[in-house]
Structure 1
């Protein structure tokens, strides 16, 4: 077999390796200072800073394949799905209040974010509407561009929102609990705690679920498909797999790097403006998530920390990773956020159809 590698392939491969090295340095730095969720936050911050610097100074665009993120999220989905046991189903039976609150809370958050971007950010109506929509970064950007909004501004606001939520929620929970939040399992596990067969099963569930969801044209196929197939295995086959800490850490790094490289090409002015507006939006919407969790907690079997992750206006993959890492229920978090994203996109399509977001 004659393998040929062109210059672009070699350059992309080098960029991936550099991004991974930068992520490793970020993780090591956050581990050294005993920071919360060092693998997710360390890789995200380090790669985001690296991407902004090298793209603005040397015109180098860091590269991390979308396929890598999809594979990482698919394995995350499989890890979530195989933990979907009958016991968790029974626990979820008492979550009707929180599940019913997802859509109304999403609408309140959207209205608050829209008001902030219109008044403080001076965005036009279309851009403000889709930039403040709490769900679906890619989908909101595509819909917003079709409606006549500024796609670059919309995508930047969603990136800033997700990054700020991922950075602040673990820190707030850590301060409230008095402990530094870490990966729930020890890194040095017994050799028989996680067998090669378990790893092969997770990979099979991840790729099988992702392929099936894509064939059925389901939204968020690389996450929803593996979750569904993993849950089916867990409920019907009595599958019990506790992923090791190194696999959870790997999922965090993949998510962190894939989010960090998206800041490449962002100018200093756009970044500062986006951060200021994003801080204002998150400063209004995140307290709503904490308040909703505080109100619902006495009537819910879920912990307060899990409910905060369920209601926080972040990305489903990122918040599911946080839940998995903290020993909370990633199934509950993913379910709430899939409902939120579906409701947000449905709301966007409806309002766009009525023509009320055009400038």
Structure 2
């Protein structure tokens, strides 16, 4: 069997990148013409996902997703400043609510997947966990769960959140007082003046943050490293560069195309079947998140949109992107999702051990 040479692999990677980016760009153009919200995210995601499901064999190289992570981290870091520290003291109630919601939503979604979708118990549980995808996939082999079904279930969770949450918040925008970021406004925004000192400080602290994130084994170090690095600059009141608004559109574009291309080499019938059951499971989870949001709105004065986005069961990069694109308190949202990841990462191995001992 002939192995591809490095040159052939490079050419294949370039074809994959160019082809996927062209498909994603067509999706952005169509969504822009139709006036659909968040075209750079939803358009690129929809186009690459549909192309993959009907036979498009290319996947966007990982470097593009990693680039989006770095951009998001640099952009969101400016939202974390000294005021954040005082806000942390007011969040124990919402973080406790987050723990309760994780338990309830995992149980409810896994019951549906087991009873209606025909998943075995272990696969249903792993597919229903609302976050910490890396920890979930590592736990699959120990429980004997079907990794393919779990991965598609987790991707469905992310896709449902990316489509459903912004459209719901935009629909409720007039009542929630949401300032929706306009793509055309971002495209036409003036670029901040280049300052070599500010860029040097920002890049230096971002690299230090990345290295510390790797050392501490934090999730998404390419995202959280730059985020906490820029946040450290903010809190120390040191100069940091101002990221152009266009960079957020680039992150939306690359992240949407990257997620959509996950469906390459998966038959559309299989993908639609799993997506259908995953969609219902996610409706259950989002309904619980809405109910928890409503309960806290009645007893606290937190912003309803920020609460719902903090409780939404998406991946950290996707939720952070939505928080910034919809201009909804990124610091509050990011810390709640970090807290959820840590809670799942600490508790899931214990749950897996207990379940594995019963098998």
2:243 and 2:213 mapped to 1: Cα distance?
Answer: 23
Paired with 1:128 and 1:290, the residues of 2 have a C-alpha distance of: 23
Q: Could you say if the C-alpha distance between residues 300 and 94 of structure 1 is closer, same or farther in structure 2, counting changes exceeding 3 Å?
A: farther
1:165 aligns with 2:161: yes
Deviation at 1:180, TM superposition (A): 9.5
Return the match for 2:98 from 95, 98, 102. 102
Mapped contact 1:134–1:341 kept (Cα < 8 A): no
User: What are the within-5 Å matches in structure 2 for residues 1-359 of structure 1?
Assistant: 6-55=7-56, 60=57, 62-178=58-174, 181-183=180-182, 186-192=186-192, 201-239=201-239, 242-300=242-300, 302-355=302-355
SS in structure 2 of the partner of residue 237 of structure 1: coil
**What secondary structure is seen at the aligned counterpart in 1 of 2:247?**
helix
Q: Once the 2 structures are TM-superposed, how far is the Cα of residue 63 of structure 1 from its aligned partner?
A: 2.5
**Quick one: structure 1 residues 197 and 170, their matched pair in 2 at CA, closer, same or farther if it must change by over 3 Å?**
farther
Question: 1:23, 1:46 within 8 Å by CA — same for their partners in 2?
Answer: yes
8 Å contact from structure 1 (residues 73, 223) kept in 2 = yes
For residues 346 and 309 of structure 1, do their structure 2 counterparts lie closer, same or farther at Cα, with a shift above 3 Å needed? Answer: same
Mapped contact 2:206–2:228 kept (Cα < 8 A): no
Superposed CA RMSD in Å reads: 2.4
Report the CA distance shift for 1:265/1:204 in structure 2 as closer, same or farther (over 3 A): farther
Instruction: Say if 1:194 and 1:244, in contact at 8 Å, map to a contact too.
Output: no
Which secondary structure does the structure 1 equivalent of 2:290 belong to?
A: helix
Query: How many angstroms apart in 2 are the aligned matches of 1:71 and 1:93?
Result: 33
SS of alignment partner, residue 54 of structure 1:
coil
Contact 2:181/2:327 (8 A) holds in 1: no
Separation in 2, partners of 1:233, 1:299: 35
User: How many pairs does the alignment contain?
Assistant: 351
Q: Which moved more, 1:235-244 or 1:24-33?
A: 235-244
Are 2:316 and 2:337, in contact at CA under 8 Å, matched by a contact in 1? yes
Structure 1 pair 195–175 and aligned structure 2 pair: CA distance change class (3 A): farther
Q: Deviations over 1:42-83 (max 9, x none)?
A: 11111111122234xxxx3x1222233123212212222232
Answer with 213-222 or 288-297: which moved more. 213-222
Cα distance in structure 1, aligned partners of 2:249 and 2:126: 32
SS in 2 for 1:63: coil
Q: Is the 8 A contact 2:109 2:128 kept in 1?
A: yes
Structure 2: segments with no counterpart, 5+ residues: none
Go from structure 1 to structure 2 and tell me whether the alpha carbon gap of 1:37 and 1:302 turns closer, same or farther (over 3 Å shift). farther
Q: In 1, distance between residues paired with 2:200 and 2:71?
A: 11
Residues 239 and 84 (structure 1), Cα distance of their counterparts in 2 relative to 1, 3 Å cut: farther
Report how far residue 12 of structure 1 moved: 0.8
Q: TM-score, normalised by structure 2?
A: 0.89
CA distance, structure 1, for counterparts of residue 208 and residue 27 of structure 2: 33
Contact 1:86 1:235 in 2 (8 A): yes
Tell me if the contact between 1:78 and 1:205 (Cα under 8 Å) persists in the aligned partners: no
Distance 1:296 1:153 in 2: 34
Q: Counterpart of 2:186 in 1: which secondary structure?
A: coil
The alpha-carbon deviation at position 321 of structure 1 amounts to 0.3
Would the aligned equivalents of 1:157 and 1:274 in 2 still touch at CA under 8 Å?
yes
Indicate if the aligned counterparts of 2:293 and 2:304 stay in contact, CA closer than 8 A: yes
